[in-house]
Structure 1
Amino acid sequence: KPEVRRESIHADATQQGPKDYIKAIYDLMYLAFQTDSTRVATYMIGQVAGATTIANSFPGCIGLSPNWHGLAHGAGKAGGIEKLGRFDQFLAQNHAAFLSRLDSTNEGSGTLLDRTIVLYGSSNSKTHRNHNYPLVLAGGRGLGLKHDQYLKYNEREMRLSNLYATVLDRLGVNDGRFSDSTGEMTDIIA
């Protein structure tokens, strides 16, 4: 296993510095994967509807709005959608840095990203409804996923549970079913 240097973990990050705070969590996930301590991690930075979460203060810390909840509800006001977009971009850039780090780490005949499946969901609109919003699936090339494509579905064509079923199957922990899935998402299988 790779040796982990204590100074590579930024445990002193606080919510007043959202970039450092987010990076610290991504660093811990990276180290867990790199050392093969686990191959499963869940990281929910926050939620737009969660006015009580630590992440609710993040937009204010980077000069966009006092809080994430207010930022979402202000999307319909003048300049609001641009601020929400800038915050989504901030989150996506942090996520992209995590993916780049996984991709730059060799593991076996590929990279750590090739052997990891990462699902990223963006924030949602001022209505807080969790449907018809973009998701990014990264990694997993070594697990039989194909990438470099943009896929668009509606609820009647494809259920989100089909994506979950496919991911679980690629990880070898399922038989192609999850909740109300109707089958695997064959468009993403190499």
Structure 2
Amino acid sequence: MQECISVPWSLPDELIAMAPGAIAPALVDTSAEVKTTAIGTHAICEYLEKAHPNPRLLPFVANECAEARRLWRWSEDSFAEVNATLLTERVNQWVRRSSDTDTASLRAGVHALKSKMTFLNGLAETRAYMAGRALTMADLSIAAHLSAYDYFGDVPWDVTPDLKAWYSRIKSRPSFRPLLNDKVDGTRPAKHYADLDF
């Protein structure tokens, strides 16, 4: 039904041909009445929300929808710093087998991640889900980022117990569990990575 094209750290020819300036991830829906291409995280999620609204991941109620969109955008923007430092360095170490460790990037990434987790733990203390009472796009975006860092064992769960409890609930959802079986070639995830009661 949908075809996702996302080759990490490279731009495949099919992606470049889709649209000027196209970047991964991209989705091509050939089951739609008109073949549809959505490029980039927000375009994909917005398209799926309109084309396949069940389950709904952006609330109907205006203020709840605004909060979900705010935190979804916050997640994409805020974690970019961690991706550019900590995650990039882990990829260089484990996937590309780089012999030169950039300790400054690791330190900057760890520090940035801790500050984000403090904020998120505050939300998890008072809310069932990040944006309020129901699971939204904000939860999935935040959980996806944390999952990438947790794969390498870089998330200090011991300092954010409420966030850890929230993430345990998210990773226990049937829709999220298959992600925990994914492996990055040449690496092994942290021992607790796929453990639902870590």
TM-score in same-fold range (> 0.5): no
The structure showing larger relative contact order (alpha-carbon pairs under 8 Å, at least 6 residues apart) is 2
TM-score by length of 1: 0.31
Bigger helix share:
2
